[in-house]
Amino acid sequence: MGKQDEVLHLPHEQIEQIQLEGIKKTLVACYENVDFYKKSFDEAGFDPYSFNSLDDLTKAPFLTKQDLRDSYPYDLFAVPLSEVKEIHMSSGTTGVATVGGYTERDLEIWGDCFARGIEFAGGGPDDVCHICYGYGLFTGGLGAHYGSLAAGCTTIPMSAGNTERQIRVLREMGSTILCCTPSYAMHIADTALEMGLDPVKDFNLRAGIHGAEPFSDNFRADLEAKLNYKVLDVYGLTETMGPGVAIECLDQNGLHLAEDHFFAEIINPETGERLPDGEWGELVLTSVDREAVPVVRYRTRDITRIIPGDCACGRTHRRIDRLHGRTDDMLIIRGVNVFPSQIEDVMKTFDEMSSWYEIELSRKGSLDLVTLKAEVNPDFDFDQMSNIQRLQKEIKAAMKSALSIGLEIKIVEPKSIPRSEGKAKRIVDLREGTD
- Residues near ligand DLL (CB under 6 A) are 90, 133, 139-140, 211-214, 233-238, 242-243, 300, 302, 323, 326
Continuous segment of H or E residues that includes residue 16: helix 12-33
Degrees to nearest 5, angle at CA 251 with 248 and 254: 45
Cis peptide before 73 (omega within 30 of 0): yes
Which pairing describes strands 367-376 and 408-412: parallel, antiparallel, or unpaired? parallel
Amino acid at the residue 300: T
Could you give phi then psi for residue 198, rounded to 5 degrees? -115, 105
Q: Which is nearer to ligand DLL, 302 or 345 (CB)?
A: 302
Q: Which residues sit opposite 357 in a β-bridge?
A: 374
Q: Work out how close the CB of 238 gets to ligand DLL at its nearest, in angstroms, rounded to a whole number.
A: 3
Q: Which is nearer to ligand DLL, 137 or 398 (CB)?
A: 137
Q: Which is nearer to ligand DLL, 326 or 410 (CB)?
A: 326
Q: Work out how close the CB of 214 gets to ligand DLL at its nearest, in angstroms, rounded to a whole number.
A: 4
CB-nearest residue to ligand DLL: 211
Q: Work out how close the CB of 361 gets to ligand DLL at its nearest, in angstroms, rounded to a whole number.
A: 19
Beta carbons of 352 and 344 less than 8 angstroms apart: no
Q: Work out how close the CB of 322 gets to ligand DLL at its nearest, in angstroms, rounded to a whole number.
A: 7
Q: Which is nearer to ligand DLL, 72 or 382 (CB)?
A: 72
Q: How far apart are CA 342 and CA 403, in angstroms?
A: 8
Q: Which is nearer to ligand DLL, 8 or 212 (CB)?
A: 212
Q: Work out how close the CB of 114 gets to ligand DLL at its nearest, in angstroms, rounded to a whole number.
A: 9
Q: Work out how close the CB of 303 gets to ligand DLL at its nearest, in angstroms, rounded to a whole number.
A: 9
Q: Which is nearer to ligand DLL, 53 or 93 (CB)?
A: 93
Q: Work out how close the CB of 399 gets to ligand DLL at its nearest, in angstroms, rounded to a whole number.
A: 21
Q: How far apart are CA 424 and CA 358, in angstroms?
A: 9
Burial 21-49 (b: 16+ CB within 10 A, else e): ebbbebbebbbeebeebeebbeeeebebe
Q: Work out how close the CB of 171 gets to ligand DLL at its nearest, in angstroms, rounded to a whole number.
A: 24
CA dihedral 195, 199, 201, 207 (to 10 degrees): 150
Beta carbons of 336 and 399 less than 8 angstroms apart: no
DSSP per-residue letters across 253-287 = SSEEE-TTTEEEEEE-TTT--B--TT--EEEEEEE
Q: Which is nearer to ligand DLL, 300 or 354 (CB)?
A: 300
Q: Which is nearer to ligand DLL, 185 or 212 (CB)?
A: 212
Angle between helix axes 35-44 and 12-33 (nearest 10 degrees) is 110
Q: How far apart are CA 99 and CA 91, in angstroms?
A: 10
Q: Work out how close the CB of 317 gets to ligand DLL at its nearest, in angstroms, rounded to a whole number.
A: 16
Distance of alpha carbon 426 from its chain centroid, rounded? Answer: 15
Q: Which is nearer to ligand DLL, 301 or 315 (CB)?
A: 301
Which residue, among 6, 212, 251, has the nearest Cα to 122 in the 3D structure? 251
Q: Which is nearer to ligand DLL, 238 or 355 (CB)?
A: 238
Q: Work out how close the CB of 89 gets to ligand DLL at its nearest, in angstroms, rounded to a whole number.
A: 9
Q: How far apart are CA 358 and CA 371, in angstroms?
A: 8
